[in-house]
Amino acid sequence: MRNTLATQSLFELSHAGRRATQLPECDVPARPLDELLPAESLAEAPPELPEITEPDVIRHFVNLSTLNMSVDTHFYPLGSCTMKYNPKRHERFAGMPGIVDLHPYAPESVSQGMLQIMFEMQQMLGEIAGLPAVSLQPAAGAQGEFAALLTAAAYFRDKGEDRRKVLFPSSAHGTNPASAALAGFETVQLEESPGGLVSIDELQSHLDDQTAVFMITNPNTLGLFERDIKEISKRLHDVGGLVYIDGANMNAILGITRPGDFGGDMMHYNVHKTFTGPHGAGGPGAGPIAVRDFLGDYLPGPIVTQSEDGTYQLTDPPKSIGRMRSFFGNVGILLRGYFYLRTLGPDGLRAVSENAVLNANYLKALLKDVLPVPHGEFCMHEFVASAKALKTDRNVSAMDIAKRLLDFGFHAPTVYFPLVVAEAMMMEPTETESKETLDAFADTIKTIVTEDPEFLRNAPHSTPVNRPDEVHAARNPVLQWVSGPA
């Protein structure tokens, strides 16, 4: 139980005159401030921040943390998000002196350890992708997409070609069209074939000398491997275009097949998904990109290179598109990915994908009678079930089931994505879940679908709040604390 103080806002907890931090006395001869700074640039008073003691701050945030579901506390089968276990050792390694406190402009002579790690990370990501040139700069998967599209644009410009079109299937992540538009391309969406895979005929009808890039997620967002990917790539290459692989679903194919081998020219990784950088309630992630040799000169820099004498340095590729962000990249997250790869090695990495796919197919088999999966006999690391029949027969929606799962201590799957499946429930158990957890989850869903529809439509019943009104929020946006929520 919590009392009402537990979720009071910082501003309600504030009392003038309280404080949490003590700072050292000024040990240099202090001069009047208006001698140091022009009077007109000074504020009359410091910002109106809350005044709180340290114990209150701790209690406030610890209480807030307990209102969350997380991988450390709950099964989190959120499709397309790869919510796998985040090893604790990574947090400790990433926090070591010399790692956590290294300044980004520290000279190369006192950063060799860090540069070696980042160099090895580039090598490993290149090998896993089958695409040897790697830039670790992009700060997130979406920025990786953007960086790769700018890389492609620079490559075409260099060849004297003005290609304006980027294609993607209707099941693509929203970031694909958004990144293409941001990069200045025209966007073209392909219609899905009935089998849930890209239709080569549909693709072909859009291919011409204006086609720059085809963006495709493989395995796709339905959890299916695009088995025609080689032919798809050939068609793109025949018109001089490039194939971009959205790496969001790499968890299914580590060590089994490689984007570079099945025709991709460029890809991004989501280090926070595939290689266990924790999701941080929405970030930070890291979105390194890997490309074919002939695109390597255009990559965003800096990248790490090794000299003949074995030392490492930061280098800009010769025709680099430039920087995507300041400094090197989201190193703290890249490190966690590095530690993960070094823990697993080649066999361990392959075992990750085998177990992810086994777990997904097992869960799919357990649920097939109550939540059928319209596409595919077997799935990769995730699948999209449909609650359409339940909606028709009992007026129970995917959202109702998702919300009721929260009452049973399970996070909800992804609902209503991809749009090509009615009442979609996209589930991704990941490899770090046990058979027992999957059994319990499936049993719970089987129980839920027998419950009273009215009761389900009012779920969840045990969470701190119940179906907040998003329409009201959007109509009257309250985005900072005024005198109390709502």
Partner 1 sequence: MPYLFNTPDQKNEMLETIGARSVDELFQQIPAPLRLDRPLDLPAPRCELELEAEIRQLAASNANTANRVCMMGGGAYDHFIPSAIDEIASRGEFYTAYTPYQAEASQGTLQAFFEYQSLICRLTGMDVSNASLYEGATAVSEAAFMAMRVKNRYDRVVMLGSVHPEYREVLETYCSNLPTEIVTVPTPNGVADPDAVREAMSESTACLVIQHPNFFGCLEDAKTLTDIAHEFGALAVVSFDPISLGLLQKPGEYGVDIAVAEGQSLGVPLQYGGPYLGILACRQKFLRKMPGRLIGTTVDRDGKPSYVLNLQAREQHIRRDKATSNICTNQGLLALRATVYLSLMGPQGLREVAELCCQKAHYAAEQLTQIDGLELMFSGPFFKEFAIRCEHDPTEILEKAQAAGFDVGPNLKQFSTIDSGNGFLVAITEKHTKADIDRLVNVLRG
How many residues in the shown chain lie near partner 1 by CB under 8 A? Answer: 207
Nearer to partner 1, 345 or 372 (CB): 345
Alpha-carbon distance 40 to 32, whole Å? 15
Judged on CB neighbours under 10 Å (0-12, 13-18, 19+), 284 is middle
Nearer to partner 1, 78 or 385 (CB): 78
Q: Select from 315, 284, 321 the least CA-distant residue to 300.
A: 321
Region 227-266 residues binding partner 1, contact defined as CB under 8 A: 227, 229-230, 253-258, 261-262
Nearer to partner 1, 178 or 207 (CB): 178
Residue from 174, 194, 310, 318 binding partner 1 (CB under 8 A): 174
Helix (H, G, I), strand (E, B) or coil at 474: helix
Residue from 2, 98, 209, 294 binding partner 1 (CB under 8 A): 98
Residue in the structure block whose two tokens are 């709950």: 74
Nearer to partner 1, 53 or 389 (CB): 53
Judged on CB neighbours under 10 Å (0-12, 13-18, 19+), 27 is exposed
Kindly indicate which of the ranges 105-113, 200-208, 389-397, 447-455 contains the residues binding partner 1, using the contact rule CB under 8 A.
105-113
Kindly indicate which of the ranges 342-350, 389-397, 420-428, 446-454 contains the residues binding partner 1, using the contact rule CB under 8 A.
342-350
Region 112-171 residues binding partner 1, contact defined as CB under 8 A: 112-114, 116-117, 120, 124, 127-128, 139-143, 145-146, 149-150, 153-154
> Could you tell me where the DSSP H helices lie in 130-223?
141-158, 175-182, 200-204
Nearer to partner 1, 213 or 396 (CB): 213
Kindly indicate which of the ranges 89-97, 201-209, 237-245, 289-297 contains the residues binding partner 1, using the contact rule CB under 8 A.
89-97
The answer for residues whose C-beta is within 8 angstroms of residue 86's C-beta and 6 or more apart is: 71, 72, 276, 277, 278, 336
Helix (H, G, I), strand (E, B) or coil at 155: helix
CB 97 to partner 1: min, Å: 4
Helix (H, G, I), strand (E, B) or coil at 399: helix
Nearer to partner 1, 162 or 392 (CB): 162
Bridge-based pairing of strands 242-246 and 211-217 is: parallel
Residue from 71, 213, 222, 401 binding partner 1 (CB under 8 A): 71
CB 311 to partner 1: min, Å: 11
Kindly indicate which of the ranges 200-208, 238-246, 303-311, 372-380 contains the residues binding partner 1, using the contact rule CB under 8 A.
372-380
Nearer to partner 1, 98 or 392 (CB): 98
Region 297-336 residues binding partner 1, contact defined as CB under 8 A: 300, 321-333
**Are 131 and 267 within 8 A, CB to CB?**
yes
The answer for residues whose C-beta is within 8 angstroms of residue 75's C-beta and 6 or more apart is: 410, 411, 429, 433, 437, 441
Alpha-carbon distance 397 to 388, whole Å? 8
Q: Select from 124, 390, 369 the least CA-distant residue to 258.
A: 124
Residue in the structure block whose two tokens are 């088995």: 227
Residue from 48, 201, 309, 369 binding partner 1 (CB under 8 A): 48
Q: Is 280 in the site for partner 1 (CB under 8 A)?
A: yes
Alpha-carbon distance 84 to 71, whole Å? 7
Region 382-401 residues binding partner 1, contact defined as CB under 8 A: none
Q: Is 349 in the site for partner 1 (CB under 8 A)?
A: yes
Alpha-carbon distance 474 to 472, whole Å? 6
Region 419-478 residues binding partner 1, contact defined as CB under 8 A: 431-435, 458, 460, 463-470, 472-474, 477-478
Kindly indicate which of the ranges 202-210, 382-390, 402-410, 420-428 contains the residues binding partner 1, using the contact rule CB under 8 A.
402-410
Residue from 133, 304, 352, 396 binding partner 1 (CB under 8 A): 352
Bridge partners of 266, per DSSP, are 244, 291
